[in-house]
Structure formats: structure tokens, C-alpha cells
Structure 1
Amino acid sequence: MESVWNSEVNFRKREALSKDIECDILVIGAGMAGLLTAYMLTKSGREVVVIDAKSTASGVTKNTTAKITCQHDLIYDSIIKEFGEEGASQYFKANQLAIEKYKEIIDEENIDCDFERKDAYVYSVDNTKSLEDEYIAAKKLGIDAELVDEVNLPFKVKGALKFKNQAQFNPLKFLQTISEKLTIYENTTALDITEEISVVTKDDIKIKANKIIVATHYPFLNTPGYYFMRMHQERSYVLALENAQDVNGMYKGIDKNAYSFRNYKNLLIFGGAAQRAGENEEGGAYEKLRKAAKEFYPNSIEKYHWSAQDCMTLDNIPYIGHYSSKTPDIYVETGFKKWGMTTSMVAAMIISDMILGKENDFSEIFSPGRFDMSASMKNAANDLMITAKNFIAQRIDIPEESLESIQRGHGGIVEYNGQKTGVYKDNDGKVFAVSTKCAHLECELHWNDDELTWDCPCHGSRYDYKGNWIESPTNKSLDEI
């Protein structure tokens, strides 16, 4: 499984860090957010080192649908209600400026990354009230928006809200150029940050820095900051189809089980089947998309399929700024929801301005220190309930299934060798047995039958069927049994 972006770009390999070093600024995470921040700070004359536990752009960035837009589902009406027009205006201006900043860098660096201006749409097949409310909010903020009732999709819509002059691109082609001159160490896993502002890696190598930026998608430090109490993760699935429609825009549905659409060259990127991490035990997410694709585009041919994972904050606004009030020299970029390309640029602009001592007109709305209890209570209560349920389940639930009940090519939780165990049985009948206890905060893992992984429903950590770590917040693998 690889994305269309991944199939087109190969980054040069970087060495792992092999000795203690000192630097001015350390960026942890070589995805879009971390690399953009490093690029901007380097351009300003600062010494920057980037480390990544795996390789450059090998995480969430390579699995995006790569829309660059200030239209993030339905967001502006809710921000106005919760934070006022000033907060909503900051959010819009930051994300709109991000589009223009991408274009500026692309022109300056002469990057061929298939950057295209496209209109963005959110649509509904059964209700227009929320679209109308969002339109009113958009107009208050001066957004170039329009309500329409006809779009270039393979089905009728009740209505759609169009934001004009947004953009899309190939993110890995873009990163290949801007990362070339950056100092990057791959296969260098950060485990901790000491009080002396040093990062300790899994190989017990220490990196002393004046400033540290945590751009690891989901923060790997639980305290301070307590981001594990303020976010969960969701997965969504994507097909790239040949012989499908040119939809002439970027589309995201707001109804339950809605789809997203955009084109790239001769392909239609068709997404959906979103769910909380850890909620795909039976599989079938890709099959749902394939069934819909054949209904909409009978002659289409699947060329690629992949999935992405996104951090969802309590109020749907990212956390960008100081990691906590107690860590003035440590910064965080996280909670980008499903709009990581635009928000990565926003994060890079905010953090680089903070470090360089520049004024920023839109940092307040993204501050990790904000907390509107009325806006966040419902989501916080739901996340807490799911976390508690899976934390308790790991300790008291006794599996009824045995190893014999697991079919070849599938996995599940069983009683094995006298203990609760996660097992995967490959097509030859070989058994891979691991602990069902997440290495992050010990919630019970769930099997993902589409991707043959163990996923944590509490905070989104993921492991392959052998127990190897795939995705944060954990940075450790599972115990084999």
C-alpha cells in the first residue's frame, strides 16, 4: 500500500545520529510541519537540526489528500460562536495566508510540484441549514464564498458552499526540494526531553538545543501539556482511480459516511470511510470505497489505495505554540484535524515568528494554552469515556476466543498460552503473538483487519502485526509473547 505521492518521489537517505551534538534549534519530526518550520528558520539564518524516528516525509504527510485550503469542513460558524469574530478572523487569515506562502516558496525555489488553483467545496446531499450558517459566517469574515446547488459530482447535492481560489499540489515533490539543504538525521528516535533542554534518543544519544520544536504529528511527551487528554485520532481511507471523472475542484461531504474528491493528473482521489482509530476490527473500509467507486464510475480502475490518520482536538482548532506554560523553550505543532497541509504552513509561520521574536497577528487562536470548557466539554467527555472503557477492558475483559477461532489472514484477541494475547495468523498459518496493552498508556489495542495492524482507540498509537511501532504517540514497540 502506497500513496500516489509516494510512488513518484524518492528522498535521499540521511544518516542516523551517531554521537552527542549541540545545536541552536532542534525540530523533532521530518514531516510537512517540521520541515517547513526548519526551512523558515534556516532561511532566517538560524542553525537548525531535524531528526526523525524513521525517514523524511514517511509519516502522515505522504498519506494526505494534499488540499491547501482555508475551508476546513464547517468551522467558521462554530469558531465565531465559541471565540468570537476576532478568533474566527485569525483562523481564516492564517490559513488563507498559508496558501499564498506556499505559492511564494514554490516560485522562489522554482519547485515543480503540480501546484494548481482550485475552488474548494463542502457539500450535503440532504441538508443545507449548516451550509447556510457557514456561508453567513464566511461573509462576516470577508471570505470569497458562494452557495451553489449544482456541482461536478456523480450525484445530486442539496447544496454546496464554495470557497474560491484555493489550491492543491504534490506534497512530496514540494518537500523534496525544500528539505535538500536542511540538516536531517533519520532513524533517530526521541524518547525524552530533559530539564536542561536536551533530547535523549533511543540509542542514548543526547542533543542539546536552545529551542526544541515537537512536530511529531501526535506529541510523544505526556507531561507537561497533557495532549493525550485533549486529542484523539481518526483514520480515513483513499483510492486513486483511473478512468474516473474530472470534478474540477476539491470536495468534502459533511453528511455521515460522505466522500471526498479531487483530481491529480489523470487520477481521481476518492476518499471516505472515516472512523476513530481502533474501530476497524472487521475491516471493509476499502471495500466500502470500492463499492461506491464502481457505482459512481463503473469503468474506473484502482491504481493506488492508502489511509491517513489525523489528530482531532477538543474544539477542532490546532495546538500551535509553547508546549506548556512551564516550557518556554519547547514548542508544539499538533491537532491539524484533516487539514495538515495548510495548517503545517500556519504552524511554521507561527513558531518561526515566536522564535525569531516577530509579531504575529493570528497566533492567539491556535495557542495550546486556550481552553474553552463550554466548547470542549462534550468532546472531552466522549474521549474520556472511550479511554476509560479501553483502559479497564485491558485489565478485566477475558477473551472468549481461542487461537483456533482466528482465520488465516486475520487477527484478534484470544486466550493464548494462558494469557490475553493479540494474535495474527498469516496465510500459511504462522502465528504472530503480541501484548494487547498499548505501550503508550496501556489501553487495550484493537485489530485493524484492512491494514493488519494493532490500533489504539484511546490515543491512536499503531503497531504492525509483529508488534513494531508504526505511529505516535507511542515511540515503543509491543512485547512479543
Structure 2
Amino acid sequence: MESIWSSEVKFKEREKLDQNLECDIVIIGAGITGLLTAYMLNKSGRNVVVIDAKSIASGNTKNTTAKITSQHKLIYDTLFKEFGEEGARQYAKANELAIKRYKEIIDEEKIECDFEYKDSYVYSLESAENIEKEYNAAKKLGIDAELAESVNLPFEIKSALKFKNQAQFNPLKFLKPISEKLTIYENTRAIDIKENKVIVEGGEIKASHIIVATHYPFLNVPGYYFMRMHQERSYVIALENAQEVDGMYKSGDKKGYSFRNYKNLLLFGGSAQRTGENESGGAYEELRKAAKELYPNSIEKYHWSAQDCMTLDDIPYIGRYSSSLPNVYVATGFKKWGMTSSMVSAMIISDIILEKENDFSEIFSPRRFDMSASMKTAAKDLVITAKNFIAQRIDIPEEHTGNIEKGHGGIIEYKGQKAGVYKNNDGRIFAISTKCPHLGCELHWNADELTWDCPCHGSRFDYEGNWVEGPATKGDNNI
């Protein structure tokens, strides 16, 4: 399984950090958020080091649909109600500015990344009412928007809202020349943050400022981000011999599909569910069935999936990690809008560090939720308990796995404990504890991707128990 972006772009490999370092700023995470922030701070003359547990853009950055848009489904009407006009205006300004900033960097660095201006649409098959409310909110904020009764999609709609002058690109083509100018260490996993130091496997990095750009924050305390986010997975197939839709489309209904073209392909997405809720599989098959109905002559060329952090109010957490960690910063909770949110994060965090004025950071502040003392106590207890829940490989005799078919995974009872078992097509058994090493939640099987996923906070492990993505920081092979 490989995204179209990964098939077209390969990054230069970087060394693993095996010594102590000192720098102005260390950024944990070499995805688009970390690299954009590093780029801005590096241009200001700061000494910046980026580290990643795997490799450059190896996480969700490579699995995006790469739409650069301030149209985030139906959000502005809600923002008016919950945060007032000023909050909604900050959100709109930040995301509109993000689109312009991408174009400025592309022009300044002369980057060839298939950047195109495209109109963005949110459509509904069910009702025009919510679309009209969103249109009214967008117009109040000065967004260049208009209503549409028909769109270039293979079905009739009730209504659609068009945002003009949005954009799309190939994110890895964009990041490759930017990354080449940065100091980056790969296969360098951050284990902990202590005062002004990042502890890594094999050393430590001392810095005046520390930025956590790991998609989901790996520090549980302080911050308590695990109490105010969950993760969802969504799926994409790239189709040949499908339609030129002339824009970027997202359904405003509870269930629906997304569309956008790249070269001769149509990127067709949907089948979203909370991480850990795909035990039976079928997410890709649902998309394939719909694609054949909508585009009978289409041919699938690629398929991939992405994971998104969902905050309590649908707004990212961008800014200082916690009041008790004034030199540590976080960018997370991008929902399904990682391209503009990553640029907004880079602008906000670099402005804070460089002590520049910023008139849209308040709406994104992680401190807009205040953890009570009782919640802090509960979180502390969870962290202590989690230390006893590290997943370990288990040797299970074959006679106890008879109900698991070849090529499938599932949970069995063995010696009074639950174990996650995967049986490959040759009949070989792979078994791990079902307790997530993050905070002890029970892992669920993901049949589409042959992984064990945590429904609580979104950590993922392969069928051998190896770490795939956080907030957990390790799997079986690290114990």
C-alpha cells in the first residue's frame, strides 16, 4: 500500500543521532508541520534540528489528499455560535493566509510541486439548509464564496458551497527541496522531555525551544491531550479512467465521499471511522464498490489511508504545550485539514518563538481548555497504571488459535488473559498482548491494514507488535 505521493518522491536518507547536541530549537517530527516550522525558523537565522522516529514525511504527510483550503467542511457557522465573530474571523484569516504562504514559498524557492489553484466545494445530498448557513457565515467573514445548485460530480446534489481560489499540490514534491536545507536526524525517537532537553535513544538534545510536531503528542502529562482528542482513519483510492471533476469536493453530510484530480487520476476518498473500529475490514471494498457504480470504466492504481486527530471542538491545538512547559510547543488536532493547519502551526509557533505579533493565534491556543485538579489527578493515575500495560509478545500453541483463519486476526483467551493473534497465509502465528503501551486500552484488529489499533487514542502496531504510530512511543521490539 503506497500513496501516489510516495511513488513519485524519495527523500535522501539521513543519519541517526548517536551523540549529544545543543541547538536553539529542536523539532520532534519531520512531517510537513515540523519541516515548515523548521524552514521558517531556519530562515530567521536560528539553529534548528529536526528529529523523527522514522524518516522524513513517513507518517500522515505522505497519506494526505493534499488539499490546501480554508473550507473545512461546515465549520464557520459553528465557530460563530461557539466563539463569536472574532474567533471565526481568526480561524478564517489564518487558513486563508496559509494558502498564500504556500504560494509565496513555492515561488521564492522555485519549487515544482504540481501546485494548482482550484475551487473547493462542500456539497450535500440531503439538505440545503446547512450549506446556506455556512455560506452566510463565510460571506460575513469576507471569504470569496458562492452557492451552487449543481457541480461536476456523477450525482445530483441538494446544494453546494464553493470557496474560490483554493489550491492543491503534491506535498512531497513541495517538501523535498525544503528538507534538503535542514538539519534532520532520522530513526531518532524522542523518549522524554526534561526541562530544556529532549531525551532520545542514544543521547539528548539541549535547546532553548522544543516543538512537538508528532501528529499526536507523545507526552501525556502535562497537557493531557489524550483527554481531549481521539483519532479517525479515512481511506483513498486513486482511479484511472474516471472523471475530471474540476475542483476539490467534500461531503457536508455525515457520510459521503471526497473527490479531487491529480494528473490523470481521480482521488476518491471516504469510509472514515474511528481508529480501532475496522476489525472486519471492508473500508477499501466500500470505496471500490462505490467507484464501480459511479465510474464503471475506472481502474484502481493506488490505495492508501490516513489518520487524523479530532479535537473536542474541531479546532487544532497550536501554541505552548502547557503553562508549566513555557519553552515547549505543540501542533496537533488538525482533523482532516492538515495542509493549511500545518502552515498555520508553523506561522503561529515561529511567531511566538521570534516574538512577533500574531493576530490569529488565540482561537488555536491549547489553553482554551482548562484541566481541573481532579482531571489532573485522574490523568496521573492513568500514567502510572500504563507502566504496567506494556504489550509483550506471547507464545501461543497452535491448538489455541483454531478459530483464527489464515490471513486474519482476532482476540483469543489464553491462560486467563486476552491475546491478539494474526495468522498469515502460511499459517504462521503472531501474537501480542492486546493492551496498548500508551495507556492500557485494548487494541482492536484492523483487517484492511493488518495492524492492531487503539480505539482510545489511535496508537497503531503491526501484527508483530512493532510500533507504527503514536501517541505510544514503543512496541514489542523496543522492550
Give the TM-score normalised by structure 1. 0.93
* Counterpart for residue 232 of structure 1: 230
- Offset at residue 183 of structure 1 (A): 0.1
Q: Separation in 2 of the partners of 1:479 and 1:241? A: 37
Q: 1:88 to 1:448 in 2, by over 3 A?
A: same
Structure 1 residues without counterparts, runs of 5 or longer: 374-379, 395-400
Q: Which residue of 2 aligns with 1:49?
A: 49
Q: Tell me the distance in 1 between the aligned counterparts of 2:289 and 2:51.
A: 41
Matched, 1:17 2:17: yes
Where does residue 376 of structure 1 map in the other structure?
none
> Judging changes above 3 Å, is the alpha-carbon distance between structure 1 residues 39 and 426 closer, same or farther for their aligned structure 2 residues?
same
Structure 1 equivalent of residue 392 of structure 2: none
Question: Which residue is 1:116 aligned to?
Answer: 116
Aligned to 1:79: 79
Is the 8 Å Cα contact of residues 236 and 270 (structure 2) preserved in structure 1?
yes
Letter in 1 for 2:66: A
Secondary structure of the 2:367 match is: coil
Q: 1:206, 1:169 → 2: CA distance?
A: 36
- Partners of 1:49 and 1:452 in 2: how far apart? 34
Taking a change above 3 Å as real, the CA distance of residues 3 and 479 of structure 1, as seen in their structure-2 partners, is closer
CA distance in 2, matches of 1:231, 1:478: 25
1:438 maps to a residue whose letter is C
8 A contact 2:66–2:170 mirrored in 1: yes
- The answer to whether 1:350 aligns with 2:348 is yes
Distance 2:168 2:477 in 1: 41
1:254 Cα shift?
1.7
Q: Distance in 1 between matches of 2:284 and 2:451?
A: 15
Deviation at 1:346, TM superposition (A): 0.3
Partner SS state of residue 325, structure 2: coil
Task: Choose from 280, 297, 307 the match for 1:299.
Answer: 297
1:479 and 1:62, CA in 2 relative to 1: closer, same or farther beyond 3 A?
closer
CA-CA distance at 1:256 after TM superposition: 2.8
Contact 1:403–1:416 (8 Å) recurs in 2: no
Q: Partner residue of 2:38? A: 38
- Matched to 2:126, the amino acid is D
Q: Return 408-417 or 114-123, whichever deviates more.
A: 408-417
Q: Distance in 2 between matches of 1:403 and 1:277?
A: 25
Size of the aligned set, in residue pairs, is 457
Pairs within 5 Å for 1:433-452 = 433-452=431-450
Deviation for aligned residue 1:479 = 7.5
Q: Is the 8 A contact 1:217 1:334 kept in 2?
A: yes
Q: 1:314 aligns with which of 305, 312, 315?
A: 312
Unaligned ranges ≥5, structure 2? 390-398
Does the 8 Å CA contact 1:239/1:305 hold for their aligned counterparts?
yes
Q: In the alignment, which residue of structure 1 is the partner of 2:69?
A: 69
SS in 2 for 1:81: helix
Q: Is residue 193 of structure 1 aligned with residue 190 of structure 2? A: no
> Is residue 454–residue 463 contact of structure 1 (8 Å, CA) maintained in 2?
yes
- Answer yes or no: is the 8 Å Cα contact 2:466–2:477 preserved in 1: no
Match of 2:206 among 205, 208, 228: 208
Alpha-carbon deviation of 1:297? 0.5
Amino acid at match of 1:89: R
In the TM superposition, 1:145-224 aligns within 5 A as 145-195=145-195, 197-203=196-202, 205-224=203-222
| Percent of matched pairs sharing the same residue | 74
**In 1: Cα distance, 2:478 partner to 2:25 partner:** 37
How many Å apart are 1:129 and its aligned residue? 1.0
Quote the offset at 1:416 in angstroms: 3.3
Matching residue of 1:370: 368
Residue identity matched to 2:199: V
Asked if 2 retains the 8 angstrom alpha-carbon contact of 1:433 and 1:480, the reply is no
Inter-partner Cα distance in structure 2 for 1:254 and 1:411: 34
In 1, Cα distance between the equivalents of 2:252 and 2:403?
39
Distance 2:412 2:370 in 1: 42
Q: Which residue does 2:324 correspond to in 1?
A: 326
In the alignment, residue 85 of structure 2 is paired with which amino acid? E
Task: Give the one of 401, 405, 408 matched to 1:407.
Answer: 405
Q: Runs in 1 of length 4+ with deviation above 4 angstroms? A: none
1 CA distance for matches of 2:181 and 2:328? Answer: 24
Which residue identity lines up with residue 458 of structure 2 in the other structure? G
Give, in angstroms, the shift of residue 372 of structure 1.
8.7
Give the match for residue 270 of structure 1.
268
Q: Which amino acid aligns with 2:462?
A: D
Q: Tell me by how many angstroms 1:402 deviates.
A: 5.0
CA distance in 2, matches of 1:91, 1:480: 40
* 1:12-62 Cα shifts (integer Å, max 9, x gaps): 000000101111100000000000000000001110000000000000100
8 Å CA contact 1:237–1:306 kept in 2: the answer is yes
1:190-234 CA distance string (max 9 Å, x none): 010012x1011133x111110000000000000100000010000
Deviation at 1:156, TM superposition (A): 0.7
Counterpart of 1:94, as a letter, is A
Deviation of residue 418 (structure 1)? 5.2
Change (3 A) 1:34 1:479: closer
Find the residue that maps to 1:329 and give its secondary structure. Answer: strand
CA distance in 1, matches of 2:422, 2:283: 19
Per-residue deviation, residues 153-203 of structure 1 (Å, max 9, x unmatched): 0111111010001000000000001110100000000010012x1011133
* Contact 1:467 1:480 survives alignment (8 Å): no
Q: Does 1:359 align with 2:357?
A: yes
Alignment check: 8 A CA contact 1:434 1:480 kept? no
User: In the alignment, which residue of structure 1 is the partner of 2:92?
Assistant: 92
Q: Which moved more, 1:228-237 or 1:416-425?
A: 416-425
User: Counterpart in 2 of 1:397?
Assistant: none
CA distance in 2, matches of 1:478, 1:423: 14
- C-alpha contact 2:418 2:434 (8 A) present in aligned 1: yes
Distance in 2 between residues matched to 1:176 and 1:144, nearest whole Å: 32
Equivalent in 469, 472, 475 of residue 474 of structure 1? 472
How far apart are 1:456 and its partner, in Å?
0.2
Aligned residue number for residue 395 of structure 2: none
Q: Per the alignment, in what secondary structure is the counterpart of residue 283 of structure 1?
A: coil
Alpha-carbon distance, 1:415 to partner: 1.7
1:247 Cα offset (Å): 0.3
1:256 is matched with 254
In the alignment, the residues of structure 1 paired with residue 72 and residue 416 of structure 2 have an alpha-carbon distance, to the nearest angstrom, of 49
Take 2:415 and 2:456, find their aligned partners in 1: how far apart are those partners?
27
